[in-house]
Structure 1
Amino acid sequence: MTQKSKPDVHRTRIFADLTPLRTSPDYRRLWFGNTVSWIGQGMTSLAVSLQVYDLTGSAFSVGLIGFCSLVPLVFFGLYGGAVADTMDRRKLGLGSSAGSFLLSAVLVASAFAGVEQVWLLYTIVALQAVCFALNSPARSSMIPRLLPPEQLPAANALGSLTSTTGTLVGPMLGGVIVGWWGYRAAYTVDVVTFTASLYAMWRLPAMLPDRSDDARAGEAVSGTGSTAGQRPERASVLEGLRFLGTRPNLRMTFFSDLCAMVLASPKALFPVVAIVWYHGDARTTGLLVAAPAFGALLGGVCSGWLGRVRRHGLAVVCAVAGWGAAIAAFGLTRQLWLGIVFLALAGCADTFSMVFRGTMLQAAVPDRMRGRLQGVFIVVVAGGPRLGDFLAGSVSDLASPGVAVTGGGVACVVAVLLLALKWRGFLRYDARNPQP
């Protein structure tokens, strides 16, 4: 009777699966440290934006902060992935986390010393982006070594909770702390929160790239000259891109994500939409910005059933099409509450897509290539929304915001379905036998 009840509970699970946190102390520390540091970084991100505007009074100067972080993310994302495939990932993660910690400490020191130089803030933001670009591929590549394959969807769902919580809670706390106690307090809290991430990395075991799967990977990447158990002197970024070029299922994870981020990303239009459609103000814009994040958080909280899904490719296509359909519906409504609902549904679909895409990148990629593929992931995630903002703004100016939003959503649905028809093997992808 007791043995029967366990599967019943598993079948009816709705809320996030916490099994990875219970079974792996290393993963538990890594997840907790990352969650706390994400909140701290969210606070710092808002505090830096407020301080730059305080010093310059220029919205353009605030916008340059995004540029200062984008360029290092795109360039060092690929480089960081290659580095993660050549050295102990624990050391790389620990070193890059220490770099972020020291940069946050510089912010605290400059705030207490009364140094008010915009160039210093820009420089710290850029260097923090470099540290993140080095840290993220190493950290993501570690997770399949800490958990069994069947727990990866749950781990990625928990990871989505980390990023969404940091995005929502961090700026809110940052605004409260800056408003009550100033920039020095916000930067100090960020330094304190980073100690959790440092401790988690320090407690991990050594994690060299696994060469035992070279036989499988080597047949796909010609001219590597690697044999099992050996470490190459270097891991080429081009080698990783060539590997990706020969693996249609992995390529589709990126193509499908680009369909959503480039074709159906209306975030840049929210200020216009808030005024023209809903006759609102800055508070209305804030609601529109928060709605997808709230939906993403809800998707992460209610992610317990995702571990039972085996057809990950089909799930990604459905989730991306769901995102596009929700965005298209948002473009058709002129009632604020309904628009918020559709944006929340889009955010929920995005979480499901992220979970399955992330799991495929971890389960179907040989360990020796995981860092480089995670580096490509960073570039796509960093660059895709910026292209989407440019496209949405251009179409809105040429036609109207409604055409840009609804047309983008429809284009996303059509594009991802056409891609699925072209690479039908993606729809047959089975998590029990992951094929890149």
Structure 2
Amino acid sequence: MARLRRDHFIDLSPFRASPAFTRMWIGSTLAGLGGQLTLVAIMLHMYDLTRSTFAVSMIAVAGLLPMVFAGLYGGMLADAFDRRRVALIAATITFASTVLLAALAWGQLETVWWLYALSIVNSAANTVVLATRQAIVPRLIPRELLPAASALNGITFGIMVMVGPALAGVLVAVAGYAWTYSVDVVLMTSLFLGLWTLPSIKPEGVIVRPGLESLRDGWRFLKRASNIRLQFILDIIAMTFGQPLALLPAVGAVLLGGGPITTGILTASVAVGAFFSSLFSGPTGRVRRHGLAIERAILLYGAAIAAFGLVLAAAALGWFAPATVDEVTPNIPLIVVAALMLAVSGAADNISSIFRNTMMQAAVPDAIRGRLQGVFIVVVAGGPRLGALYVGTLATLTALWFPPLLGGFLIIGLVGVLVRLSPRFRAYDSEFPEP
């Protein structure tokens, strides 16, 4: 029985197998924590300047096209040059834009347009870092440890989003925006340690120089890779219709109450779910039907998002509310239930991510892995930006609770139909990975 319990905990074998992977993981975790501070602070900052949920959602939307370009071109760079060097250059750009953001806040020179511009630069550069780093991982550890490495990335995400937003809410409320951005500057220096100490990692196989032919080569591969293509589509559906992040500043201000602290708690709840699902991810290494596991995880995700919408609807009807709900007086019972639903969504999304990452890294050849990882990051990061547009626009036209409620049911219906129309995806076997 003790052995069974140990097997349910996260597998730390990638740390023992690769010190280089360990250093990169530590650096990425600390830098990601700082990045979450800035992400939440910019959202709160924008809401303070505009009092508009739509303006908050446009932070994500404005960075969508630059992020798509960065993901595609960054993937081409990762397949043509030393991946360590590509990641270091992109990380330097991210660092410089964060320093400028902190300097503007200290000088009280920040404007709506500066927040948009610097968030776009950060988004594009981080996309290149993420795509390149993910393409590096299979070169550092053996294939059988890829699910464990993906679960460790879930721990990273959990720490980032569990601690980052809550800390951001407290820092903004107590110390202000300038200090919050400055903490990110300090934490981000750890990213350079993790990347700088990597060995040189040049792509294997036939190298295609960045350009149209490289894009066409990647597109030809993706057309043949039905399993990879479908997982991209499923994630876009989940993130487009199931990402209520842009609603949370308004939810904390006017619906559930509590202001920035509630916003931080709700955002962190997603990461709490991701963290604990990774902490007890031992059984994922024994699952072979990755396509089926992805489907079930996304269906659970959709159900949790719909339930979150129902909680917000209950808040709009005044259930369990004190006499006044505002930034000082919160509706604590519904905040607890809303946080629980978001934690379930985070756990489900993380389990889906573990299997999607493993499928990407195991089934895609190294020579094209950077480009496919670039597309993968565009999908993972671009879906929530489409989701921000969806929830921001629909909430403006209807009510704060309606977008997640409708979105959850759309996810369940669309994912269920698409997977059942693709028996090859449901039958995917990790022992014989086929893209």
TM-score bin, normalised by smaller chain: 0.7 to 0.9
- The aligned counterpart of 1:44 is 38
- The aligned counterpart of 1:17 is 11
- The aligned counterpart of 2:317 is none
Q: Residues 385, 179 of structure 1: CA spacing in aligned structure 2 closer, same or farther, 3 A cutoff?
A: closer
Question: 209, 223, 238: which one pairs with 1:233?
Answer: 209
- The aligned counterpart of 2:374 is 375
Question: 256, 271, 275: which one pairs with 1:293?
Answer: 271
Q: Residues 411, 368 of structure 1: CA spacing in aligned structure 2 closer, same or farther, 3 A cutoff?
A: same
- The aligned counterpart of 1:84 is 78
**1:194-228 Cα distance to aligned partner (Å, 9 max, x none):** 221111111111111110xxxxxxxxxxxxxxxxx
- State the Cα distance separating 1:110 from its structure 2 match: 4.7
- The aligned counterpart of 1:219 is none
Paired-residue identity, %: 42
In 2, are the aligned partners of 1:86 and 1:234 still within 8 Å (CA)? yes
TM-score by length of 2: 0.82
- State the Cα distance separating 1:27 from its structure 2 match: 0.4
- State the Cα distance separating 1:94 from its structure 2 match: 1.3
Q: Where does 1:1-400 land on structure 2 (aligned, <5 Å)?
A: 9=3, 12-49=6-43, 56=49, 59=52, 64-110=58-104, 114=107, 116-118=109-111, 119-211=113-205, 230-234=206-210, 236-267=214-245, 282=259, 287-332=265-310, 334=314, 336=334, 337-392=336-391
**Which range moves more in the overlay, 76-85 or 31-40?**
76-85
SS, match of residue 7 in structure 2: coil
Q: Residues 31, 232 of structure 1: CA spacing in aligned structure 2 closer, same or farther, 3 A cutoff?
A: same
In 2, are the aligned partners of 1:73 and 1:378 still within 8 Å (CA)? no
Give the letter aligned to residue 66 of structure 1: A
Give the letter aligned to residue 128 of structure 2: L
**1:259-294 Cα distance to aligned partner (Å, 9 max, x none):** 322344445566787899x86564666654443332
TM-score by length of 1: 0.82
1-structure distance, mates of 2:427, 2:193 = 41
1-structure distance, mates of 2:59, 2:256 = 30
- State the Cα distance separating 1:30 from its structure 2 match: 0.3
1-structure distance, mates of 2:203, 2:104 = 39
1-structure distance, mates of 2:294, 2:275 = 18
In 2, are the aligned partners of 1:74 and 1:382 still within 8 Å (CA)? no
**Which range moves more in the overlay, 41-50 or 70-79?**
41-50
Q: Residues 142, 183 of structure 1: CA spacing in aligned structure 2 closer, same or farther, 3 A cutoff?
A: same
**1:368-423 Cα distance to aligned partner (Å, 9 max, x none):** 11111111122222332233344456666788777654443233223222212211
Gaps of 5+ in 2: 315-332
Give the letter aligned to residue 145 of structure 1: R
In 2, are the aligned partners of 1:21 and 1:27 still within 8 Å (CA)? yes
**1:342-369 Cα distance to aligned partner (Å, 9 max, x none):** 3322221111001100111111001111
In 1, are the aligned partners of 2:165 and 2:267 still within 8 Å (CA)? no
**1:114-148 Cα distance to aligned partner (Å, 9 max, x none):** 36142544433322222212211111100000011
2-structure distance, mates of 1:398, 1:203 = 51
Q: Residues 395, 53 of structure 1: CA spacing in aligned structure 2 closer, same or farther, 3 A cutoff?
A: closer
SS, match of residue 8 in structure 2: coil
Q: Residues 126, 332 of structure 1: CA spacing in aligned structure 2 closer, same or farther, 3 A cutoff?
A: closer
2-structure distance, mates of 1:363, 1:253 = 14
2-structure distance, mates of 1:330, 1:138 = 34
- The aligned counterpart of 1:220 is none
Q: Residues 162, 346 of structure 1: CA spacing in aligned structure 2 closer, same or farther, 3 A cutoff?
A: same
Q: Residues 201, 353 of structure 1: CA spacing in aligned structure 2 closer, same or farther, 3 A cutoff?
A: same
2-structure distance, mates of 1:107, 1:142 = 30
Give the letter aligned to residue 193 of structure 1: L
SS, match of residue 319 in structure 1: helix
